[in-house]
Structure 1
Amino acid sequence: MEPMYMKLVQLNDEWTEAGLQLQVADPASKYDGGVMDETTGIPRANHLGTPAVMAAWAASLVNADSRYYRQAELREALEKASAFLLRRQHADGTISLGSTNFNSPPDTAFVVGGMTQIYRLLEQANWPELAPALANIRLFLERTIPALQTGGCHTPNHRWVITAALAQLHDIFGHPELLVRAEEWLSEGMDMTEDGEWTERSNGIYNAVSNISLFHTARALNRPALLEYVRRNLRMMAYLIHPDGEVVTDYSGRQDLGQTFNLSNYFLVCRLMAAHDRDPLFAAMSDYAGSFISQYKEGVNNHPMVGVLLFPSSLEGLEREPLPERYVKRLNFGHPMEAHLKQAGQVGHHMKIQHSSMHLAFGAPVVRVRDGNDSVTMMAKAPSFFSLRHGKARLLGVKLATSFAPGVVMFDSLEEAEQGAFKLRTLLEKGYSGPIPAASLRELRLNESMSPWYLLPHHLRPMTHLQQFELAADIAQGDQAWTLRLRSDEREDVFAQLTFVFGSEGEVEGSGVEPISDGRFLYKEGTLTYAAGPDVIEIASGAFEHRLPELRDVQHPNGCLYAHVNLLSPFDHTVTIRLR
């Protein structure tokens, strides 16, 4: 048998056993039959909670290769869990995420996306003793229909999660209204650049969510054209993998920003697409992603064992195309980002959206450079503009902050200056607001003796004394080295701080490196070395042009090492990063 299949069978049995240990067995409890969340201790009906464990149980029960195949104890556990799911379902058919998002149509859709697959898998088993669990699951799904036919979303990917749920519900119940609603979402069009980047730029989480959702939508609605967007994103992701399998999250627009993720959540969609297209690259990506699956962390809608059993997709006999390891890849350099942002001002939403983000960094340029064990990312519209992996040594990010518009600088543009050299630019602006025109005040009819600040139409104030501050970063690659040249315009006495963010597993040293707190250093002069195992990153040189240990409105995540270079404008400062 295929080694990956056997690995999944073994892991799924382990997940099954772990879930059984956490199931509540107390008929007097409202949580009876639910599976406790290990972090909160509270069983949840969300896609990462009890339904995800039910997926593992269902796969074990129907798979003759599992040691739990048709085991009575597990069948009873599944039945109790399905009853728990019904009890936790709200009267309007929704479930709540638990941490937030109460009575949530999109979170319900996440669950439906997986429970429809569980229902199909159990139904195909043709085992009469599953009838009570099947009836509960079908009732749960049926109850969700009104909410999904009318409910909205928060984020861009939610649209495709809901659409996939509607499509799979239609597959079971056949209600034409489900298709009507699915088409309403699909008519908004796909939010992807030509190079394959989704709106949320979330390589760690939401790319995979959108991809698997579109795969099921395309399958259930017989819309194969939708698969082109899945292909496009997967081909992009082949260039967003560090040498150790970690995916690039340096510029994400979601909660995976700067966090550590591997490719495991792409396993199923890569496998399904490899089988569908007979594509050697997708097959190699599926193998590689599968090598990182160790503990269960995927939602019920993207469960690897359920997906493999329900959609047979053997990759045996399919050649593999090696994943790229040496390249300079430019992403989104042709995307009309500036034109789109100008159009956004005419739409009427005034750059505000409830319970979500405008994701104005969508389509910002990114450059990826791989040379074996060295991996570099350059990016615009992100808190960090440069990051580097050299074997085990991780320079997680390089950030520039200023006191002009207090906070971290996000460069607006990234362009190629010449072969192997790139430039980032931004123009910061900050002005002052004049008095509101008298005619506008008369229209408001405010009480002259008392005028609350928040009632005033601040958008009507004329701008005065508008100030600008131009910044640039030039990046060039040399032989086992990179140079970063940071430049400002001629404005005087703007405090700036260049920060190097390192992984906590290494050590920072240098005669001109002064500790200022746990894990934080001022890099004043000379050479800084950061070593992790045998791999060393060497930086020269630092600066200490002002004494501030940190600037206003600058936040750094915990669990890293930080070295700050203090600059005062006007500055033209070059650092050289050598790898050894």
Structure 2
Amino acid sequence: MDRRGFVKSSAAVLCALPVLPATHFVPVKTNDEKAPLWLKALVQQNDLGVASLRSLQVKDTNSKDFGGLMDAFDILNPHSTAALIQWGACALFSSSSRFYKSAQLLDEINVAVLYLIRTQHEDGTIDLLSTNFHSTPDTGFLVKRLAMAYTLLDKSGTADVEKVLANLKTFLLRAGTALSTGGIHTPNHRWVVTAALTKLNERWPNPAYTARAEQWLAEKIDIDKDGQYNEKSTFIYSSLTDRLLITIANGLNKPELLDAVRKNLNMTMYYVHPNGEIVTDASGRQDKAVIGTLENYYYPYRYLALKDQNGEYAAMCEMIEKTAGLKIGGFLDYFLSDTSLWNELPATKLLPLNYIRTFPNSGLVRIRRNERDCTLIANNPVWFTFMKGNAVLQGMRFASSFFGKGQFQAEKIVQHGNVWELTQKLEGPYFQPYPKEQLPDDGDWDKMPRNVRPQSEIQLLETKVLVRETENGMEVEIATSGTERVPVALELIFRAGGTFTGISKIENTKDAWLLKSGAGSYSVQKDTITFGHGTGSHKNISLRGALPAMDAPTVYLTGFTPFRHVVRFS
């Protein structure tokens, strides 16, 4: 890769903070010839973040909160405070930073560490004030990165750094006690705790650390045949697990753990939208259906691209640099701590851009044709997405007014040749008088459960969705059978920011439109999605039992059962 060209392409976002969605790198003039230009760019970006964090620190020495930092809700908390220590350590260590060996920043880091010690519980844990208290895993999240900060501070050569190291060691060793005994909530928490123990053990060897790590590792890595971890959290926790397993593999000499990382990285190459965003529709965590790029994967891809001399991983790094840019600066401490990551990437190989790929364990089908792609999703009310460059249909939903339970979603996706089928079968019964011999004496309705009552006049509604690939896009056919005259509505949910043609606004709505007939289009910059044909038999778009409308421009197609309609996207 032409690293110089990569850096030079990015001068426009110098003023962006790391906490903002900066999208390119910037060149940095420095006398330090050891670090590559891209790393110096991240250091300069980190400086902006350090400056921002310093302004949020409590400076009143008489305050009980002295040294702490607030979050966006003005709540003092250990995580914001730890961020100053983490980012500040990177700055003190880096000769290309304007805070290099800064005595003032060192003092601010020291009082931040003292704040952490004051807020640390006697058992060694800290709180995640939004949800978890006396939390071992949240302690692990902090310890992993603060142990790296300790090493960077130690190697920085900053005058009087020993006082900070002594205080930080106090916090970390107290936390180590908690990590050696405490419990977890979620699958990834096991690897958070284990990685934190690994970093502590590298610095202060302790049999209790390795014994606890081995206990968690004995449960084996929760990765399926698709290459996905249990939580299926492609934006947040899958990449986190990759980074943690690399740490554990290195620190505990367990190279076999890298096989799970490779398996996940191989899968992730097929989870990339044409604009560099990652597919999140099947996530089981809070990142479900969020819009995100792949900056969180940059470190594992770069680490294994260099270790394995893997050209596809190198190409993924290139793609992430172009589409996520400075957002990889959130992992600056990783890059500063391991100089092998400064090496040039191997020659790139072509990434998969034309494919049909099924991930049965995640209930996902991915179809990509260069700048156009489609995702089918099982067990989800949004079961179809379509992207063409920057124009995005971020969801398709179908609902009926069928006994308040007509929101369509399919348990599985079944492939028949070049057709994918999603089905749903619903019943709407009525209930007969309660069996006389079981009637309660007091007439209490709650003592007469419906499952005991005989059913009658059972209404049935089956919905079948067939999806096919066409020469220029995708075709979706929806057909219902069973009860007649049920109102239905099909939602085409687009990402905000584009312009429509061929549709009409539904009165008294924020951003709802009707495609009565013919074709409509949605354009963003030079990219256009054409969709149709339309049908609009009614304007009832808030069907009883359907999910609320999304906060996005939505085009509706409406009708009544029996409903059969074909919509083509190109």
Taking structure 2 as the reference length, the TM-score comes to 0.85
1:571 to 550, 563, 569: 563
Query: For 1:68-107, what aligned pairs fall within 5 Å after superposition?
Result: 68-107=99-138
Partner of 1:501: 493
List per-residue Cα deviations over 1:57-84 (Å, max 9, x = no partner): 1011112232221111111111111111
Cα 1:554–1:54 change in 2 (3 A) is farther
Whole-Å separation in 1 of the counterparts to 2:378 and 2:124: 42
State the Cα distance separating 1:519 from its structure 2 match: 0.8
Whole-Å separation in 1 of the counterparts to 2:394 and 2:101: 48
Contact 2:413-2:422 at 8 Å conserved across structures: yes
Partner of 1:116: 147
Question: Which amino acid letter does the alignment assign opposite residue 63 of structure 2?
Answer: S
Whole-Å separation in 1 of the counterparts to 2:441 and 2:167: 64
Indicate whether 1:399 and 2:397 are aligned.
yes
Whole-Å separation in 2 of the counterparts to 1:486 and 1:116: 55
Contact 1:149-1:178 at 8 Å conserved across structures: yes
Whole-Å separation in 2 of the counterparts to 1:275 and 1:45: 35
Whole-Å separation in 2 of the counterparts to 1:458 and 1:138: 60
SS at match of 1:424: strand
1:198 to 223, 229, 252: 229
Question: Which amino acid letter does the alignment assign opposite residue 398 of structure 2?
Answer: L
Question: Which amino acid letter does the alignment assign opposite residue 53 of structure 1?
Answer: L
2:186 to 150, 155, 172: 155
Whole-Å separation in 2 of the counterparts to 1:76 and 1:111: 20
Partner of 1:328: 355
SS at match of 2:203: helix
Contact 2:431-2:450 at 8 Å conserved across structures: no
Indicate whether 1:10 and 2:8 are aligned.
no
Partner of 1:250: 281
Partner of 1:352: none
Question: Which amino acid letter does the alignment assign opposite residue 331 of structure 1?
Answer: T
Whole-Å separation in 1 of the counterparts to 2:216 and 2:432: 43
Whole-Å separation in 2 of the counterparts to 1:451 and 1:330: 54
Contact 2:464-2:480 at 8 Å conserved across structures: yes
Query: For 1:20-39, what aligned pairs fall within 5 Å after superposition?
Result: 20-37=54-71, 39=72
SS at match of 1:287: helix
Whole-Å separation in 2 of the counterparts to 1:557 and 1:190: 39
Whole-Å separation in 2 of the counterparts to 1:511 and 1:561: 12
Cα 1:414–1:96 change in 2 (3 A) is same
Contact 2:506-2:539 at 8 Å conserved across structures: no
Whole-Å separation in 2 of the counterparts to 1:199 and 1:457: 40
Question: Which amino acid letter does the alignment assign opposite residue 309 of structure 1?
Answer: L
Partner of 2:331: 304
Cα 1:200–1:139 change in 2 (3 A) is same
Cα 1:500–1:224 change in 2 (3 A) is same
Question: Which amino acid letter does the alignment assign opposite residue 289 of structure 1?
Answer: I
Whole-Å separation in 1 of the counterparts to 2:197 and 2:341: 28
Whole-Å separation in 2 of the counterparts to 1:232 and 1:458: 49
State the Cα distance separating 1:467 from its structure 2 match: 6.2
Cα 1:176–1:449 change in 2 (3 A) is farther
**Which is further off, 501-510 or 407-416?**
407-416
Cα 1:62–1:480 change in 2 (3 A) is same
Partner of 1:40: 73
State the Cα distance separating 1:310 from its structure 2 match: 1.1
Whole-Å separation in 2 of the counterparts to 1:576 and 1:414: 19
Cα 1:555–1:67 change in 2 (3 A) is same
State the Cα distance separating 1:460 from its structure 2 match: 8.2
Question: Which amino acid letter does the alignment assign opposite residue 561 of structure 2?
Answer: S
Partner of 2:26: none
List per-residue Cα deviations over 1:217-245 (Å, max 9, x = no partner): 22222221111111111111112122222
Contact 2:504-2:513 at 8 Å conserved across structures: no
Question: Which amino acid letter does the alignment assign opposite residue 347 of structure 2?
Answer: R
Question: Which amino acid letter does the alignment assign opposite residue 231 of structure 2?
Answer: E
Whole-Å separation in 1 of the counterparts to 2:399 and 2:388: 25
Contact 1:474-1:485 at 8 Å conserved across structures: yes
Q: Which runs of 5 or more structure 1 residues have no equivalent in the other structure?
A: 334-362
Partner of 1:164: 195
Whole-Å separation in 1 of the counterparts to 2:63 and 2:435: 63
Question: Which amino acid letter does the alignment assign opposite residue 329 of structure 1?
Answer: I
Partner of 1:344: none
Cα 1:293–1:19 change in 2 (3 A) is farther
Whole-Å separation in 1 of the counterparts to 2:120 and 2:422: 50
Partner of 1:19: 53
Whole-Å separation in 2 of the counterparts to 1:106 and 1:516: 48
Contact 1:271-1:283 at 8 Å conserved across structures: yes
Contact 2:195-2:247 at 8 Å conserved across structures: yes
Contact 1:242-1:389 at 8 Å conserved across structures: yes
Whole-Å separation in 1 of the counterparts to 2:559 and 2:186: 39
Cα 1:315–1:71 change in 2 (3 A) is closer
Whole-Å separation in 2 of the counterparts to 1:224 and 1:256: 29
Contact 1:378-1:385 at 8 Å conserved across structures: yes
Taking structure 1 as the reference length, the TM-score comes to 0.84
Contact 2:103-2:158 at 8 Å conserved across structures: no
Partner of 2:246: 215
Q: Which runs of 5 or more structure 2 residues have no equivalent in the other structure?
A: 1-34
Cα 1:4–1:438 change in 2 (3 A) is farther
Cα 1:463–1:174 change in 2 (3 A) is farther
State the Cα distance separating 1:365 from its structure 2 match: 2.9
Query: For 1:256-335, what aligned pairs fall within 5 Å after superposition?
Result: 256-292=287-323, 303-314=330-341, 316-322=343-349, 324=351, 326-333=353-360
Partner of 1:411: 410
Contact 2:84-2:112 at 8 Å conserved across structures: no
SS at match of 1:103: strand
State the Cα distance separating 1:503 from its structure 2 match: 1.2
Cα 1:511–1:560 change in 2 (3 A) is closer
**Which is further off, 377-386 or 175-184?**
175-184
Contact 2:427-2:461 at 8 Å conserved across structures: yes
Query: For 1:447-486, what aligned pairs fall within 5 Å after superposition?
Result: 449=442, 453=446, 464=455, 469-486=461-478
Whole-Å separation in 2 of the counterparts to 1:434 and 1:274: 67
Whole-Å separation in 2 of the counterparts to 1:305 and 1:520: 43
Partner of 1:137: 168
SS at match of 1:231: helix
Cα 1:434–1:168 change in 2 (3 A) is farther
Whole-Å separation in 1 of the counterparts to 2:102 and 2:211: 41
Cα 1:506–1:28 change in 2 (3 A) is same
State the Cα distance separating 1:94 from its structure 2 match: 1.5
Whole-Å separation in 2 of the counterparts to 1:111 and 1:517: 46
Cα 1:186–1:43 change in 2 (3 A) is same
Query: For 1:56-67, what aligned pairs fall within 5 Å after superposition?
Result: 56-67=87-98
List per-residue Cα deviations over 1:424-455 (Å, max 9, x = no partner): 2333456678999999x99xxxx9659794xx
SS at match of 1:328: strand
Whole-Å separation in 1 of the counterparts to 2:42 and 2:449: 59
Whole-Å separation in 2 of the counterparts to 1:269 and 1:141: 25
Whole-Å separation in 1 of the counterparts to 2:533 and 2:226: 36
List per-residue Cα deviations over 1:513-540 (Å, max 9, x = no partner): 6444111123333322222223222221
Contact 1:328-1:367 at 8 Å conserved across structures: no
Contact 2:68-2:81 at 8 Å conserved across structures: yes
SS at match of 1:17: helix
State the Cα distance separating 1:485 from its structure 2 match: 0.2
| CA-atom RMSD in angstroms | 3.0
SS at match of 2:145: helix
